[in-house]
Structure 1
Amino acid sequence: MTQENPARSGPSRRTRLTITIVVAALVLLGGGTAAALWWGGSDPDPAPTAAPDPAPEQPEPDPGTDAPAEADPIHVIAMGDMLPHDSVNANAQLPDGGWDYGQFFEGIRAQLDAADATFCNQEVPSAGADFGISGYPTFNAPTEFARDLHDAVGCDLVNLANNHAADKGAEGIAATRAVWDGLTPSAVSGANRSAEEQRAVQVFEQDGVRIALVSFAEYSNAPIDGVSLNMMGDDALVAELMAEARDQADTVIVSAHWGTEDSHEVNEAQTAFAQRVADLGADVVVGTGPHVLQPVTWLDRADGGRTLVWYSIGNMLSTQLELAQRTGAIAGFDLVRDDAGAVHVENPTAILTYMHYEWTPEQEAAGDLMARHGLSITPLSASGELLQQTSFGVTAEQQVEASSEILGPDVTVLPE
């Protein structure tokens, strides 16, 4: 997203050129006479003018003065599963029949606004009312869900390759992509309307850096064809898209929807695929799907570089039940261009988040899922009072410590 330059102030180039010519003429004609001619005066016998003093010597310019300023790093954040259960949709619906999903993110507004580019996993179709609004197990959100993810949350790198993407079939995917067609700028990857769209790598440009997003899912809950969803097991497609992304972009982000649900452990399929795309040129792998946090690591790759891998960044928006499912991370990293023009990934950080909702012990005991209300996402470190209202029996400090241990030493956990 490139901001417009402010309007230039001061004289135009043509005005400056005219002034320069006039001043030169004054010097050639000589002092007062030329000045009188220029201003319309008529002094027939002007007083002689003294010779001008020689111009003072100017100091030698500092060689470093004109050097181009070093570009600021581009700060990218990634957020995990955006999962609108029935109770999420109920809380998002407004009295006038409209929808507002942006309200749930106000507690992390400062963190969202600090990002230059934002990755999000839209876990479900947003095909709209014509397909029926529904939650678990067969999801479909209003079209306003995608609108609010883009306009209110700032999602501009969007993964659609996940196990729920085809919950409303190929027609639901087409309707979801049509909604995102009108939400620009954005790069949307992973679920497709055609073979041509499947092979068109999405590139998002931020401050002159081209960021490619290539997305893959491990499996689908619904039947799919070879085009509707990008699958991790399609080796030829993986190789083709990675080569195209590497050719088109400065930085390649791979979204991988994979792993064992509700497990903090990374499985062999995850490590194998991460190494495969790393050797094919991925700079960052963002993992979603397990609904809980998993470790962060760096992988050495075939070209001598390193790939940053977030095996799972957990959920962001949902009304799942367990504390681990309600603890997510705003995964951050910087893109830095070196003197040779190459872009490097640096400074991985995580801001832990907590997904809260109000639910009395009586409602919880009765399993009244639709009674959940008062949804909010906050930094985990600031959620002490909210956690006291739950039956989890842990403090914010304890959950921060446990979550930091899961992420591991290769990422800096920030308070907020």
Structure 2
Amino acid sequence: MKKNFLFFGSYIGINFLLIALIATATQPFQHHRSLASPVSTDTTHVTLQFVGDIMQHGSQRRAAMLEDTTKFNYKSCFELVADELKEADFTIANLELTLAGEPYTSYPTFSAPDKLVQDLVYSGVNVMATANNHSYDKGKKGLIRTLDVLDSLKILRAGTYRDTTEYLNSTPLILQKDSIRLALLNYTFSTNGIRVRPPNVVCAIDTAQILRDIHKSKASNVDAIIAFMHWGDEYTDQPNSYQKSISRLLHQKGIDYVIGAHPHVLQPMETFNDSTKAKKQVTVYSLGNFVAGQANEKRMGAIFRMKLQKIDHKLELSECGYILTWIDKPYKNGKRLYQVVPVDKVKTTPKSPRALYTKKYRHFFQKYNKGVFEYMYDTIDSKWVLTQADSSLDL
């Protein structure tokens, strides 16, 4: 009985072997070619977002002040955009103010409550670009206290430093996820005529300094270099010749992605191939205001989103686009509030100021952007989808 079972098992095994050999022999040749060229599994991804100017005018501070106290709460300001801010690995903002402590002041020299930055971190911002024309509004004390607060909150930062030693040890700022390493540099055209006193450092748009920082970044074994630039003419929706020439220089010298702020209004965005046509480069001339107490089109901003992927040790820009934002100023219990809203996710009436300026900038970007399109919100799947369709003009 045992012998018969073994023979039967051997018989079945031989037949299965013959069937397998015949099946293998009759497979298309294409199948064997694909086995010879396996798809790489060495792939990593990182998502970055950039937002524009973080301002703090007196009206914003009063709106955030809790009744009968000297405490503040800004969470409601960012609650409608917090999901978007948290979607990226790194969300980078231009901190255009100081945290110099009381007395709190606004234009022309800014000192904001620490709670503003605490609630920005709570809402998803985790990197600050600190070099801008208001970095030194409160002098040495303001610069150092701002950095102290940011460091206490474990916010990554670039652009301003307590002294030269800190600058040399901290530049470039490395943003790392898995095997992807990115260098972030930050520069400003001005400190509004206030002389930066040694040993403090506010990184200026100085080509010699920038070239040194680029060289150091390349030596730091990074996959790409980002420059967050504070530049341009205020309230002008086109880049000036200086912005264009500096952008070209940065790209020629090895900067992959150039992100701009300062004009307080939106300016064009573009992608293009580098001189070797091996890598896609980006320039965003101005992201406008993210939060501010200003009026009209100065209430419009954008979140610029980049998705990068690294395949077999080569980093590529897989996707980029923008989400339009607006600073709403609703009244609640007789008090004006400030709320940053993604315009395609939070609807409004067709003739509201938000709707009119949204339509204006959608036409503007379709006319002047090059290779950069808008993310639209898919209400069915509850996600942002990059679109190139003209229907994006509809509200």
1:53-80 deviations in whole A, cap 9, x for unaligned?
Answer: 78978989x9699976463532211100
Partner of 1:310: 284
> Relative to structure 1, is the Cα distance of residues 335 and 87 closer, same or farther in structure 2, using a 3 angstrom cutoff?
same
| RMSD of aligned alpha carbons | 3.1
Tell me, yes or no, if structure 1 residue 333 matches structure 2 residue 303: no
User: What is the aligned length?
Assistant: 350
Paired residue secondary structure (2:79):
helix
Q: Which has the larger radius of gyration?
A: 1
The CA distance in 2 between the partners of 1:402 and 1:356, in whole Å, is 21
* TM-score, length-scaled by structure 2: 0.79
Q: Percent identity?
A: 24
Residues 88, 319 of structure 1: 8 Å contact kept: yes
The CA distance in 2 between the partners of 1:386 and 1:128, in whole Å, is 40
Q: CA deviation at 1:308?
A: 0.3
Tell me, yes or no, if structure 1 residue 379 matches structure 2 residue 342: yes
Partner of 1:147: 118
**Aligned AA (2:256):** D
Partner of 1:89: 61
**Aligned AA (1:378):** V
The CA distance in 1 between the partners of 2:175 and 2:105, in whole Å, is 31
Tell me, yes or no, if structure 1 residue 157 matches structure 2 residue 127: yes
**Aligned AA (1:160):** T
Tell me, yes or no, if structure 1 residue 295 matches structure 2 residue 264: no
Q: What is the 5 A alignment of 1:119-268?
A: 119-129=92-102, 132-150=103-121, 152-184=122-154, 186-199=155-168, 200=170, 201-221=172-192, 222-225=194-197, 227-232=200-205, 234-248=206-220, 249-268=222-241
Residues 348, 354 of structure 2: 8 Å contact kept: no
1:140-159 deviations in whole A, cap 9, x for unaligned?
Answer: 11222222222x23222310
Q: CA deviation at 1:316?
A: 0.6
**Aligned AA (2:373):** T
Residues 81, 340 of structure 2: 8 Å contact kept: yes
Given the alignment, which residue of 321, 346, 354 partners 1:349? 321
The CA distance in 2 between the partners of 1:410 and 1:80, in whole Å, is 20
Partner of 1:73: 45
The CA distance in 2 between the partners of 1:276 and 1:101, in whole Å, is 39
* TM-score, length-scaled by structure 1: 0.75
Tell me, yes or no, if structure 1 residue 278 matches structure 2 residue 248: no
Q: CA deviation at 1:300?
A: 5.0
Paired residue secondary structure (1:385):
coil
**Structure 2: gaps of 5 or more residues:** 25-33, 378-395
The CA distance in 2 between the partners of 1:128 and 1:63, in whole Å, is 64
Tell me, yes or no, if structure 1 residue 321 matches structure 2 residue 291: no
Q: What is the 5 A alignment of 1:354-365?
A: 354-358=326-330
The CA distance in 2 between the partners of 1:246 and 1:94, in whole Å, is 48
Paired residue secondary structure (1:269):
helix
Q: CA deviation at 1:112?
A: 1.8
Higher mean Cα deviation, 172-181 or 376-385? 376-385
> Relative to structure 1, is the Cα distance of residues 254 and 281 closer, same or farther in structure 2, using a 3 angstrom cutoff?
same
The CA distance in 1 between the partners of 2:280 and 2:186, in whole Å, is 19
The CA distance in 2 between the partners of 1:180 and 1:75, in whole Å, is 22
1:307-366 deviations in whole A, cap 9, x for unaligned?
Answer: 2000011111111012x2111111011111122x02122322111111110379xxxxxx
Paired residue secondary structure (1:147):
helix
Residues 357, 372 of structure 1: 8 Å contact kept: no
Residues 80, 328 of structure 1: 8 Å contact kept: yes
Paired residue secondary structure (2:247):
helix
**Aligned AA (1:168):** K
1:388-409 deviations in whole A, cap 9, x for unaligned?
Answer: 55xx495466235334336514
Partner of 1:114: 87
Partner of 1:413: 374
The CA distance in 1 between the partners of 2:180 and 2:156, in whole Å, is 14
Partner of 2:28: none
> Relative to structure 1, is the Cα distance of residues 268 and 397 closer, same or farther in structure 2, using a 3 angstrom cutoff?
closer
> Relative to structure 1, is the Cα distance of residues 395 and 270 closer, same or farther in structure 2, using a 3 angstrom cutoff?
closer
Residues 287, 301 of structure 2: 8 Å contact kept: yes
**Structure 1: gaps of 5 or more residues:** 1-49, 361-370
Structure with the larger strand share: 2
Residues 170, 228 of structure 1: 8 Å contact kept: no
The CA distance in 2 between the partners of 1:243 and 1:387, in whole Å, is 50
